[in-house]
Amino acid sequence: MAAKKTPARGEADRLSLICKAIRRAILERALLPGDRLPEDALGERFGASRTIARYALGQLAAEGLVDLRRNRMATVAAPSFADARDIFDLRIVLERQVVRHLAGKLSDREVKHLQAIVEAEHAARHGADGTAIRLATEFHVALAEMTGKPILIRYVTEICYRAGLALSAFSRPHSSDCAVSEHLDLIEAIRTGPADKAADMMEAHLEAVASRALLQASDARGRDLMNILAPYAGDPG
Amino acid sequence: MAAKKTPARGEADRLSLICKAIRRAILERALLPGDRLPEDALGERFGASRTIARYALGQLAAEGLVDLRRNRMATVAAPSFADARDIFDLRIVLERQVVRHLAGKLSDREVKHLQAIVEAEHAARHGADGTAIRLATEFHVALAEMTGKPILIRYVTEICYRAGLALSAFSRPHSSDCAVSEHLDLIEAIRTGPADKAADMMEAHLEAVASRALLQASDARGRDLMNILAPYAGDPG
DNA sequence: TGCAACAAAAGTGCATGCACTTTATCTGAG
DNA sequence: CTCAGATAAAGTGCATGCACTTTTGTTGCA
């Protein structure tokens, strides 16, 4: 029988299936800030009941990817401009920490793995889908995972997804936010360089990413205004 | 009638009520790592069904305060020694960031507020309940809130609770982990000092807290063992 | 006494139902 | 045509029920 009562050992349950799918869709900008996420549509799409979908949305809300308001449909979170800036500030201190742990300690295998990701990034560079963006995030998450510190990994992963969402809110469509060459330089700096220098380079990289997206957005106020006003529309209280 | 169909504007719903209660109980060490959290008992205690209790446990698990394993009863999370160390490492970089934002920028009102908390801490110093511990955490959370940065506040608050849980796992009963005088010095350093000096002081403070609890635990391996074994023991008291 | 195997009890996993709220659609007056 | 109000449709909030799993006793046997 295909249908088992309890998921097998490695088998993904529908709960994490929903979470993963939405996270990825957000990262790849298939889902945009403000997009609606009705519970039953979600559940039906994944062969689960509303109960599961609702629970998944709760988890995603805890990660800051989804907005939940009582009696209202869940939506993809719409970070404000200030939120975006704060997310990147936080991301910088967390990823500096990652780099400090890793500097001068990467194994050959790890270097290879990172280079392979950047390679793939380069290959996906000119596709219209979100693959390049996803791979860029994968690079940063892979770095975090190499620290072997579960708590650090978890927070970096989360902030990377939130940063991806923030970029989705403020950078132009189809712009690939991370420059491939910067990632290559980063690998080299972490492999060879002193910790502080590598950390500075990570900070510069992330600051560049933030600037490219956020500065251009602060020019075009219209975008920001839309975002600020969205939650208030139709609710005088 | 007293019973409304929908909670009034400011009224706390039972979901966040459960979350708050458990968070606080963990912080005050009324709940210890490994303690069981059956859904129906929880729900009944707060006049809600299992659905709500289950959802609350999911939220707390996302915050790292609760362990969830399929088909098993939820338990208060039992961080390993390595987890505890990682949590404090992360807490240090986050709270350094808080202090950097705040240094030289505290209003008189804010200084007063912080001093009042430390005052209360001092008063609760010799009580056997967890009030002193809770107030110590409140001090750190209050600092974070003064940055006005929602994302930073959220992460600092979460890491503070996780740190409280880690201390609960590894420090002796009734030890108040934060020295009151250190908090007073911290206020002064943030009020007057240059950002880096204040940040260093925060780091030293947190490192001291971690050391007091974690070093004594790494000496006495038995303590760690107790914690590992706790979930398997029946409830002796 | 020690310890399997088994049976009852307690607990989780999840869908479904119903009351209530929000959102969308329709209607008619200005 | 526009827009307020009414009404239908869609969606959420939450309890409950039932199948399944884990845990806890309990009994039988060495």
User: CB pairs below 8 Å between A and B: how many?
Assistant: 70
At residue B65, φ and ψ (nearest 5 deg) are -95, -15
Q: Between residues A193 and B112, which one has the greater pLDDT?
A: B112
According to the model, what pLDDT value does residue B64 have? 97
B2 at the A interface (CB within 8 A)? no
Name the residue among B68, B70, B72, B59 with its Cα closest to residue B21.
Answer: B59
Contact B71, A7 (CB under 8 A): no
Closest approach of A117 to chain B, Cα-based (Å): 27
A220 at the B interface (CB within 8 A)? no
A91 alpha-carbon distance from chain centroid: 11
What is the rounded CA–CA span in Å between residue A67 and residue A62? Answer: 9
pLDDT tens digits, residue range B166-190?
999 988 766 667 778 899 999 999 9
Q: Give, in Å, how far the C1' of D3 lies from the CA of A67.
A: 31
Under the banding of pLDDT at 50, 70 and 90, the label for residue A221 is very low
According to the model, what pLDDT value does residue B231 have? 44
Strand C nucleotides where any atom sits below 7 Å of a protein CB: 10-17, 19-23
Six-digit token string for A23: 């996270």
Considering only CB atoms, A83 lies closest to which of B54, B97, B151, namely: B151
State the nucleotide closest to B37 in CA–C1' terms.
Answer: C11
pLDDT mean across residues, chain B: 87
3-state secondary structure of A76: strand
Interface probe with A: pick from B151, B158, B165, B202, most Cβ of A within 10 Å: B151
Domains and CATH numbers, chain A: 14-76 (1.10.10.10), 81-222 (1.20.120.530)
According to the model, what pLDDT value does residue A180 have? 83
According to the model, what pLDDT value does residue A110 have? 97
According to the model, what pLDDT value does residue A127 have? 75
Contact B176, B212 (CB under 8 A): no
Under the banding of pLDDT at 50, 70 and 90, the label for residue A174 is low
According to the model, what pLDDT value does residue B129 have? 75
Under the banding of pLDDT at 50, 70 and 90, the label for residue A23 is very high
According to the model, what pLDDT value does residue A152 have? 98
pLDDT tens digits, residue range A36-91?
999 999 999 999 999 999 999 999 999 999 999 999 999 999 999 999 999 999 99
Considering only CB atoms, A152 lies closest to which of B90, B151, B152, namely: B90
What is the rounded CA–CA span in Å between residue B22 and residue B54? Answer: 13
B50 at the A interface (CB within 8 A)? no
With residue B36 as reference, give the H or E element that holds it: strand B36-37
SS3 content of chain B, % helix, strand, coil (to 5): 70, 5, 30
Contact A89 B70 (CB under 8 A): no
Q: Give, in Å, how far the C1' of C24 lies from the CA of A73.
A: 14
B83 at the A interface (CB within 8 A)? yes
According to the model, what pLDDT value does residue B214 have? 79
Name the residue among A208, A81, A213, A224 with its Cα closest to residue B149.
Answer: A81
Closest approach of B124 to chain A, Cα-based (Å): 32
Under the banding of pLDDT at 50, 70 and 90, the label for residue B193 is confident
Contact B155 A62 (CB under 8 A): no
pLDDT tens digits, residue range B65-85?
999 999 999 999 999 999 999
pLDDT > 70? residue A114: yes
Q: What's the DSSP call for residue B126?
A: G
For B109, counting Cβ atoms within 10 Å of its Cβ (0-12 exposed, 13-18 middle, 19+ buried), the class is exposed
pLDDT > 90? residue A128: no
Closest approach of B30 to chain A, Cα-based (Å): 24
Six-digit token string for A171: 């950078």
The residue with tokens 């349950």 is: A13
Three-class secondary structure assignment of B130-182: CHHHHHHHHHHHHHHHHCCCHHHHHHHHHHHHHHHHHHHHHCCCCCCCCCHHH
According to the model, what pLDDT value does residue B216 have? 60
DSSP A79-134: --HHHHHHHHHHHHHHHHHHHHHHTT---HHHHHHHHHHHHHHHHTTT-SSTHHHH
Under the banding of pLDDT at 50, 70 and 90, the label for residue B12 is low
3-state secondary structure of A6: coil
Instruction: Please state the rounded mean pLDDT for residues B38-57.
Output: 96
Name the residue among B152, B144, B95 with its Cα closest to residue A86.
Answer: B152
Name the residue among B219, B213, B124 with its Cα closest to residue B169.
Answer: B213
pLDDT tens digits, residue range B134-169?
999 999 999 999 999 999 999 999 999 999 999 999
| Residues whose C-beta lies under 7 Å from strand C | A 7, 13-15, 43, 47-52, 70-73, 234; B 5-6, 37-41, 50-51, 54, 70-74
Three-class secondary structure assignment of B180-213: HHHHHHHHHHHHHCCHHHHHHHHHHHHHHHHHHH
Q: Give, in Å, how far the C1' of D26 lies from the CA of A43.
A: 43
Contact B73, B36 (CB under 8 A): yes
Contact B47, B40 (CB under 8 A): no
- Number of Cβ within 10 Å of residue B190's Cβ equals 28
What is the rounded CA–CA span in Å between residue A193 and residue A189? Answer: 5
Sign of the alpha-carbon dihedral angle for A120, A126, A129, A135: positive
Regarding an ipTM greater than 0.90, the answer is no
pLDDT tens digits, residue range B49-67?
999 999 999 999 999 999 9
What is the rounded CA–CA span in Å between residue B146 and residue B95? Answer: 12
Contact B151 A64 (CB under 8 A): yes
User: For strand B36-37 and strand B66-67, is the pairing parallel, antiparallel, or unpaired?
Assistant: unpaired
pLDDT > 50? residue B210: yes
